[in-house]
A and B are shown apart, each in its own frame.
Chain A
Amino acid sequence: MDILRFATAGSVDDGKSTLIGRLLFDSKAIFEDQLEAVERTSRDRGTEYTDLSLLTDGLRAEREQGITIDVAYRYFATPRRKFIIADTPGHIQYTRNMVTGASTADLAIILIDARKGVLEQSRRHAFLTTLLRVPHLVLAVNKMDLVDYSQERFEEIREEFTSFASKLNAPDLTFIPISALHGDNVVSRSENMPWYNGSSLLHHLENVHIASDRNLVDVRFPVQYVIRPQRATDPAFHDYRGYAGQVAGGVLKPGDEVTHLPSGLSTRIASIDTFDGPVDEAFPPMSVTLRLEDDIDISRGDMICRPNNQPQAAQELEAMVCWMTDASKLGPRTKLTIKHTTRTARALVRDLHYRLDVNTLHRDESAQTLGLNEIGRVSLRVTQPLFVDDYARNRLTGGFILVDEVTNNTVGAGMIVEAR
């Protein structure tokens, strides 16, 4: 059994909570006491139906205002897979939350109301999931029961969305007609839509192939922590020196020739250690400890890669940045702390090339700043080299966060498009 992480985008009106509620309920991930609590609250508030959004909207303020203000994580499992749902609010003012939820997602479900078709917000959700390089996208055309399960309506929406998605460089795209309320094509295939030959939503989630979405080609091992057991009880470990980290790309094997950055020195992997014993290979997302054949001065923030396949050692970055605070704005000369893999440096904004309208994809080149939830193309200069890849090639070595140096808050998320 493996894990699929997926993000859901849409508003309560699209039936998102109903859909999540149904997936959880049908997979027995909602328990009786939770359902009773939701039913009780729904009754107290005078709602006629059981409001399943109460299951996910856990904070007092959310329940009081009837809105989702933050990413909620939900869990369910079938015999085939464990699922982690990042349930993100769909409204434009929560773009930063959707970006957060999409950053780790293998798949995103965008909900469309069959009556309303592709709206501005559907295009925004599609843009954000492709910007964050979520590898699989599912367009769930919901409320099919309200359009008489019409194949024609479904095809119309499919065509409209496909033509828009071609501009986005959208990944694997799947369209599923559903009714979350009645359960059509959610867990099992619907008898109401005999014209639909594809999988039910759950079947698709269980079977979509994600193992090859990770980058297994470019070896990238950001050094996280140096393990030196100074008071080891076992004398065998007196001289032990291991480099601990989580593999961010490629497959490493003992005996492989590797290069250390920033020094550029090469050596071989002596062994790949874990608490449970040495292993024959390491690949994402394994957390392991490397021992190397030669003594090289290596510390946290360094990178281990292959001699003939190295990331860029860059101090000038071009990136798409999503700004995440209303306390300040990003503009030329803004100074920030940047965290990329295990390395932290300082960054100076050199230029804001344009601000992107996330609804129309229009580039506003006259923009001077980025405010909360705005996305733009930015040039950064950093105080020490970062070992980067294009975000499109590797999300872990292409993504970074920006931290405000006064408040210490995380204020931006960046995706590298070009490095020098």
Chain B
Amino acid sequence: MLQRDYTTSQLDVLEAEAIHIMREVAAEFERPCLLFSGGKDSIVMLRIAEKAFWPAPIPFPLMHVDTGHNFPEVIEFRDRRVAELGARLIVASVQDSIDAGRVVEETGRRASRNRLQTTTLLDAIEDNEFDAVFGGARRDEEKARAKERVFSFRDEFGQWDPKNQRPELWNLYNARLRKGENIRVFPLSNWTELDIWDYIRREGIEIPSIYFAHTRKVFERDGMLLADNPWITRGEDEPVYEAVVRYRTVGDATCTGAVESAAATVEQIIEEIAATRITERGATRADDRASEAAMEDRKREGYF
């Protein structure tokens, strides 16, 4: 009876699902916000938000939790993208949290502000009275994330309780909250790293230059290439050299590693990822290597 086959491509299905999730949030919450770091996942999430409400502007502000240890190319990109959209950007600063005595800077060779971000994030959610916070996390990233809901409930302390999650059926999401609680919303839950890149290619989305191969001064630590920068304490056994690298993920500059790569275009990056045998977090995130349950533990405390 039907004239044609109504097959839908994987990117169209994922996009439709993410748009549906964003509209549910806009309809059911009073004060949502979208975490935007200038990383590829949050860039895709921002494009989805643009699509979900077009021709109206995105009906919520963006927020960046800024460790102060940034790649300048990414901050430049962030600000330009925000200006293009005419969106409102809230910058929650880890430095401010340190100055206010809310957290204490780590010391030593492996000092990082990664874990401090959680306090800054939770304080910003509370100060702005946000009840829903969009994050770009994907279930394929990490095994604790594989168990997380699309609407992930956080109590008044911002904590995640993995054993006590709300069941999630069909496309029905439970947005009920008491004051002080919030929901972290992950519209890209079902996307993989490759889906993100396929989508960036299909949509012709601009991304910061550090995702492409470039020459950078790096040194090696724990099998990862870290950029030489003013915030990191290097040992004498960690000599700096120049290498052609690119970033697979963009995070805090002190704990995000680069990979050696000559991929200069999105197509070349897709080829590289399709052939790689190491996960993106395994290759580039010192923070996940701390222990078997490093991500779960940080998430319980209220991390992204």
Residues of A participating in the B interface, judged by any CB pair closer than 8 Å: 1-3, 28, 31-34, 37, 41, 55-61, 63, 69-75, 77, 81-82, 84, 96-97, 99-100, 103-104, 211-212, 214, 216, 224-225, 227-234, 237, 240, 244-246, 251, 273-276, 283, 285-287, 289, 300, 324, 337, 339-340, 342, 395-396, 399-401, 403, 408-410, 413
Contact = CB atoms under 8 A, between A and B. Distances in A.
Nearest to B198: A1
B144 A408 contact: no
Contacts of A246: 16, 19-20, 171
Given A3-B14, A58-B145, A72-B143, 14 more contacts: A56-B146, A59-B163, A59-B293, A70-B165, A73-B190, A75-B140, A97-B167, A104-B169, A224-B20, A232-B57, A287-B20, A342-B24, A408-B174, A413-B167
Nearest to B166: A410
Contacts of A59: 144, 147, 162-163, 293, 296
Contacts, number: 195
A410 B167 contact: yes
A214 B6 CA distance: 9
Given A2-B10, A339-B172, A224 B27 contact: yes
A31 B192 CA distance: 13
Contacts of B192: 75, 77, 82
B125 interface: no
19 contacts: A3-B8, A31-B282, A33-B283, A41-B292, A58-B144, A59-B147, A73-B139, A73-B189, A212-B2, A216-B6, A224-B24, A229-B55, A232-B56, A274-B54, A287-B17, A342-B24, A396-B171, A401-B169, A401-B174
Contacts of A273: 54
Contacts of B52: 244, 287
B178 interface: yes
Nearest to B169: A103
Nearest to A229: B56
B83 interface: no
Contact of A285 (B16, B165, B194, B279): B16
Contacts of B6: 211-212, 214, 216, 251, 283
A287 B19 contact: yes
Interface in B267-304: 276-279, 282-283, 292-293, 296-297
Considering the complex of A and B, which 6 residue pairs feature the smallest CB-CB distances, nearest first? A58-B143, A33-B282, A408-B176, A229-B56, A275-B51, A287-B19
A211 B5 contact: yes
A301 to B, nearest CB: 9
A72 B56 contact: no
B13 interface: yes
B13 A285 contact: yes
Contacts of B26: 225
B56 A227 contact: yes
Contacts of A58: 142-147, 296
A228 B26 CA distance: 13
A101 to B, nearest CB: 9
Contact of A31 (B166, B195, B279): B279
B7 interface: yes
B177 interface: yes
A413 B5 CA distance: 32
Given A55-B143, A69-B163, A287 B174 contact: no
B50 interface: yes
Given A2-B7, A74-B146, A211-B7, A224 B296 contact: no
B286 to A, nearest CB: 13
B144 A234 contact: no
Contacts of A225: 23, 26-27, 53
A340 to B, nearest CB: 8
B293 A60 contact: yes
Contacts of A99: 167, 169
Given A59-B147, A70-B165, A224-B24, A285 B17 contact: yes
B190 A70 contact: no
Contacts of A214: 6
Interface in B1-34: 2, 5-10, 12-17, 19-20, 23-24, 26-27
B76 interface: no
Interface in B140-173: 140, 142-147, 162-163, 165-172
A69 B276 CA distance: 31
A90 B296 CA distance: 24
Given A37-B292, A216-B6, A400-B172, A70 B279 contact: no
A232 B167 CA distance: 38
A237 B55 CA distance: 7
Nearest to B176: A408
A305 B46 CA distance: 31
A402 to B, nearest CB: 10
A289 B192 CA distance: 27
A372 B167 CA distance: 13
A408 to B, nearest CB: 4
Contact of B168 (A28, A55, A100, A276): A100
A410 B147 CA distance: 17
Contacts of B195: 82
B57 A229 contact: yes
A71 B171 contact: no
A286 B6 CA distance: 11
Interface string B81-99: 0000010000000000000
A306 B174 CA distance: 29
A170 B50 CA distance: 42
A3 B86 CA distance: 35
B130 to A, nearest CB: 18
B139 A234 contact: no
Nearest to A237: B55
A413 B147 contact: no
A70 B147 contact: yes
A73 B172 contact: no
